[in-house]
Structure 1
Amino acid sequence: MPISKTLQEPLPRRRARKNPVRESRAQLIPGLMACTVGVLISFGIHTLLPSLPALTVAVVLGILCANLPRVRTPTAGSFRPGLDFAGKKLMRAGIVVLGLKLSIVDVWELGWATFAIIVGVVVLAFTGTYFLGKLFRLPGETPLLIAAGFSICGASAIGAMAAARRIRHTDTVMPVALVTLCGTLAIGVLPLLMGPLSLSPIQFGEWTGASVHDVGQVVATAQVAGSAALAAALVFKLTRVMLLAPIVFIAALATRRSARNQGVDAVSGQKPSSLPPLVPVFVIGFVAMIVIRSLGILSPGMLEIGSLLQDVLLGAALFGLGSAVSIRDLLSTGIRGSLVALLSWTLIATLGYGAVQLISL
């Protein structure tokens, strides 16, 4: 064959190498776009109906997307990677930013006696809920997740505890749905009890902050009794949120010791490739944000931006978690969990009321 003819023949095309990192990122886009739309709608509904917290609305919208016929298929299909990413990664980012709401100065002004009473409420609620979950034989680490969510700060605490204990993302779905349901129930029920229990506005705010789960739900409940009640509720609630760091640290320490002693992962039963971190990175970030807020170096405008960012991140995370909730499965397998949740809600409301009475003495 002549050399000139050989040179004229086209060279075989090389197959373009696929970039797995780029492909995995591209798979997140549809779900993250769905989260964005869900957050925008949640904020819109909250603007029209301020009594409905945006984060609660985000969970409900996610649940609707998982169960309505026309959107159920993409939610379980092309949207799933991005929705799971939001429920796990954006939840942790939101917990970090949540630290900007907390100031050590506010807790200091409560006094040691009041602080000790709030800690007692959290510890008793956590312990009581955990044993209720065991009594009703809830599977796996569900009792621990429900205990964290109901006693500390709702879905944020569930996400933090799941990370510390290396619990699967899918196992957080039912606890998040239950804590959202009971927190929403508190918005309607607690204000009706203010009169029969003879609570002053400030006492009602303290009770709300000591017993309602999510920060947004606390605001929606306490604002009914006025600005003084809302201020008292936020101080009590954020003091409970501050306890997230030590409780997650204890959970991570227990996981680490169990993995080291048994040579297997405490949850999955498999030999871990490495021991879990003693303090998860996002918890370090959470504490760092508390310190920054306490130093007073951030302007009110910067704090407002941080608050908005926190709501956006947690709203997207809760939308993603809600989108994994099947109402049919929840009704068929979540009856015991629902009973535990209602009993836990009653327990922490009772403990919170008792705390208010002690503080008033």
Structure 2
Amino acid sequence: MKQKQDSSFTGWISGIAFTFLIALLGYLLAQVPVFDHVGQLACAIIIAVAYRQIFGYPETIRLGIAFSSKRLLRAAIILYGLKLNIDTVLHDGLGLLARDVGVIAFAIFLTIGLAKWLKADKMISLLLGVGTGVCGAAAIAAIAPIVKSEDDDTAISVGIIALVGTIFAIAYTILRPILPLSAIDYGIWSGISLHEIAHVALAGAPAGQDGLAIALLAKLGRVFLLVPLCFIFMYLMKRKSGGNQSDAKVEFPWFLIGFLLMSLFGSYVLGHSIPVTQEFLDGVASVTTWCLTAAMVGLGLNVSLRDLKTKALKPLIAMTITSICLSILAYFMV
């Protein structure tokens, strides 16, 4: 009995360590020219998917990998709450918040509509619509357990959103000098249309400090709306199940409460009642990134390239069309 417990514990530790090892390899790959624009998250997923195709799934350490893909994922989302300054959003970003609502609704409904027209995979298309409209990988990770997404669908969606979002962010920086937009307007355009906070930061940097600040504020409004969106999906899932008790059970996303509490803590306690340095905040951001990357590695190990060919192409097309339309719409909303 004790030997079995020791074996389980060893597999658990080894699995977690393995996901962090691939996360480290993803970080190192992201330092290489060309891949430096792709980012650590996408690079780690690429390595994880490649490992699965070459060596198969490492069954002996499944317990630890599952811990990373589920528990560490929720921990990362909770820590992600520190990025959201609720006070700033409510005081300075209410006008942007209204536009953010429109952006989220547009992205989700258009992606789902295009998916139906293209006969694309419904779950991946839904996750990509949410990721495009809200905040990329974090939004997909938050919605996935509510809509009962399979791990491989979640991993495929995160990989696509990271890669496409990076391409769009780079395109924005190229377009910046030729667009007839002020630094502030360009920042708003970036913040309400790009996929992840990292993409907004990359695209907003050429607009200077003020442009980047307003871009991040616009993006934070979309992050803020992630919580009510999750509860809307919970309601829809329960309604869709009707009277079927087996389908009606939707796990309450307790990590969202942690996300909210961490947002409140970061907005009204840190830097106020508890003074902290920027180095500390940067350290927390790094821990969040590493936890999220390790979690995505765990998901990436579930991906079969055979499924990727059959399931991902049409959702990718739908999401790309949506992203282009969203960029155009957001441009005229500025």
Tell me which interval the TM-score lies in, with the shorter structure as reference length. Answer: 0.7 to 0.9
Matched, 1:249 2:231: yes
Q: 1:33 aligns with which of 12, 17, 27?
A: 17
Residue 318 and residue 352 in structure 1: after superposition, are their counterparts in 2 closer, same or farther (change >3 A)? farther
8 Å CA contact 1:125, 1:351 repeated in 2: no
Distance in 1 (CA, whole Å) between partners of 2:295 and 2:146 is 17
- Looking at CA atoms only, which structure, 1 or 2, has the larger radius of gyration? 1
8 Å CA contact 2:45, 2:159 repeated in 1: no
More divergent stretch after superposition (60-69 vs 290-299): 60-69
RMSD: 2.8
- Number of the residue aligned with 2:263: 290
Distance in 1 (CA, whole Å) between partners of 2:16 and 2:196 is 23
Within 5 Å, which residues of 2 pair with 1:2-17?
A: 16=1
Matched, 1:276 2:245: no
- Number of the residue aligned with 2:299: 321
Runs of 5+ consecutive residues of structure 1 not aligned to the other structure: 1-15, 267-274, 357-361
Runs of 5+ consecutive residues of structure 2 not aligned to the other structure: none
Matched, 1:64 2:40: no
Within 5 Å, which residues of 2 pair with 1:91-170?
A: 91-170=73-152
Q: 2:183 aligns with which of 198, 201, 205?
A: 201
- Number of the residue aligned with 2:285: 307
- Number of the residue aligned with 1:338: 316
Deviation sequence 1:124-181 (CA, Å, 0-9, x none):
2222122222222223422321111111111111111111122222221221121112
Q: Which AA in structure 2 matches 1:127?
A: F
Aligned residues: 329
Q: Shift of residue 42 of structure 1?
A: 4.1
Percent identity over the alignment is 29
8 Å CA contact 1:51, 1:220 repeated in 2: no
Structure-2-length-normalised TM-score: 0.87
Distance in 2 (CA, whole Å) between partners of 1:25 and 1:353 is 53
Distance in 2 (CA, whole Å) between partners of 1:112 and 1:218 is 19
Q: Which AA in structure 1 matches 2:138?
A: S
Distance in 1 (CA, whole Å) between partners of 2:182 and 2:302 is 41
Q: Shift of residue 236 of structure 1?
A: 1.1
- Number of the residue aligned with 1:350: 328
Q: Shift of residue 326 of structure 1?
A: 4.1
Distance in 2 (CA, whole Å) between partners of 1:50 and 1:284 is 38
8 Å CA contact 1:165, 1:251 repeated in 2: yes
Secondary structure of the corresponding residue to residue 91 of structure 1: helix
Matched, 1:176 2:154: no
